[in-house]
Copies of this chain bind each other. A is one copy, B any other.
């Protein structure tokens, strides 16, 4: 990533996006954990994990923000790079932890049988970890060919997960109480749409964006995707859990 062509405006915009991400993730965490008492005991673990996902993300946005601020000097109204590296790996470290947790969260809220819960958690969680690990070498490479190769490799587990979710969720929806079917459909759509965003953002530098514009688009793009896939999704899961708790008479 070439940071030296960023403008002061782009730098500030990205910095504000990171601070916004941090505030949203921290607020979502608190909101979700405060809401644990509003759902039936059977759904509490799902809500706990929802909040854990946003808490882990809040920590990583703090680290990303500090790393970003250290990489630039804005003193005197002009932007210069300081030479401190901007550590992009924090995103991948975050995903390695949170993407499997998000999948577990989704599986838990469906309240499948114990064995199905465990087997789905393992296969989907493993595929997710593989997807992240395969994407990283391309993200940090300056070479377009390498970026594309790893994109393709990472897409394989990605497609597997999306397919499983769509099919699995569709199958499970018929067994869900009527008043949450719409919501679960919504959650499935949200997952697919927001997850699709990541491989697209990853391609930005390959489709003509260069320099400061590419950096800004990638960082802001991932931040928006993270807010949707973690915070908005967590609140949707909470809503589903509240509705199901009501329906089941808690």
Contacts and interface: CB of A to CB of B under 8 A. Distances in A.
A82 B75 contact: yes
A19 B87 CA distance: 12
Interface string A39-64: 00100110011001001100110010
Which label, helix, strand, loop or mixed, suits the secondary structure of the A interface? helix
A85 interface: yes
A19 B93 contact: yes
A197 interface: no
Interface size class of chain A, counting residues whose CB lies under 8 Å from the partner chain: 35 or more
A84 B30 CA distance: 32
A229 B18 CA distance: 26
A20 B97 contact: yes
A77 B74 CA distance: 20
Contact of A44 (B27, B38, B41, B63): B38
A90 interface: yes
A55 B33 CA distance: 15
B56 A45 contact: no
Contacts of A63: 19
B34 A48 contact: yes
A12 interface: yes
Contacts of A26: 59
Contacts of A93: 16, 19-20, 23
A89 interface: yes
Given A23-B56, A23-B60, A93-B23, A83 B87 contact: no
A213 interface: no
A31 B56 contact: no
Identify the 9 closest CB pairs spanning chains A and B, nearest first. Answer: A76-B83, A75-B83, A34-B48, A16-B89, A20-B93, A27-B52, A74-B85, A27-B56, A16-B93
